[in-house]
């Protein structure tokens, strides 16, 4: 199976009320409050060390079956900039995508350089729903093998 580094667009930041252990790297987030600053429409977005997906994408992943991630609730807040610039944009319901798998083995994983790694079949599911701002590169599992295919 092919795997890819996936770099989702950053649309905001962790907000006040987020509970996180910063004594480790990457920090471990126990409660996520996410402040949205802009919305391009991608079904997968990020702000280190967290990833969010739309509810539509969650349901599509559940139908496809996947490994290496779970879902959790997220509290969404809106920045003043968003209110001023994107007042007519509606943010879809979002879910926290908690990555727990092994990069290059599970459908979702975090590489040693802390980038998101996703299997091609799951990337195809999310890409079909809309990832226009994300970037993709073949995942190099560091064993000397680079899985080429999609760029």
Does some domain include residue 118? yes
Does some domain include residue 147? no
Q: What tokens appear for 37 in the block?
A: 């600053």
Does some domain include residue 106? yes
Q: What is the pLDDT of residue 123?
A: 97
pLDDT band of residue 144 (cuts 50, 70, 90) is very low
Q: What tokens appear for 21 in the block?
A: 């252990």
Separation of alpha carbons 118 and 68, rounded Å: 9
Q: What tokens appear for 96 in the block?
A: 């926290």
On the question of pLDDT at 67 being above 90, the answer is yes
On the question of pLDDT at 142 being above 70, the answer is no
Instruction: Give the residue, 98 or 25, on which the prediction is more confident.
Output: 98
On the question of pLDDT at 146 being above 70, the answer is no
Cβ(54)–Cβ(128) under 8 Å? no
Number of structural domains the chain divides into: 1
Residue whose C-alpha is closest to residue 109's, from 139, 130, 88:
139
Q: What is the pLDDT of residue 150?
A: 39
Does some domain include residue 146? no
Separation of alpha carbons 44 and 80, rounded Å: 22
Does some domain include residue 145? no
Q: Give percent of the chain above pLDDT 70.
A: 93
Does some domain include residue 133? yes
Does some domain include residue 70? yes
Interval 117-131: pLDDT, tens: 999 999 999 999 999
User: Could you tell me the residue range of the domain that residue 32 belongs to?
Assistant: 3-138
Mean pLDDT of the chain: 91
Q: What is the pLDDT of residue 140?
A: 79
Does some domain include residue 85? yes
pTM for this entry: 0.89
């Amino acid at each position: 199976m092919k795997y890819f580094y996936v770099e989702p667009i950053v649309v905001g930041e962790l907000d006040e009320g987020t509970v996180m252990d910063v004594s480790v790297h990457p920090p471990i987030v126990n409660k996520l409050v996410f402040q949205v600053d802009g919305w391009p429409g991608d079904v997968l977005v990020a702000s280190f060390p967290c990833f969010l997906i739309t509810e539509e994408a969650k349901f599509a992943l559940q139908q496809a079956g996947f490994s290496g991630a779970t879902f959790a609730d997220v509290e969404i807040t809106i920045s003043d900039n968003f209110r001023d610039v994107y007042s007519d944009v509606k943010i879809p319901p979002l879910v926290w995508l908690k990555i727990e798998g092994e990069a290059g083995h599970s459908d979702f994983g975090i590489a040693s350089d802390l980038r998101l790694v996703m299997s091609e079949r799951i990337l195809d599911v999310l890409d079909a729903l809309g990832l226009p701002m994300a970037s993709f590169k073949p995942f190099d599992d560091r064993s000397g093998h680079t899985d080429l295919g999609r760029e």
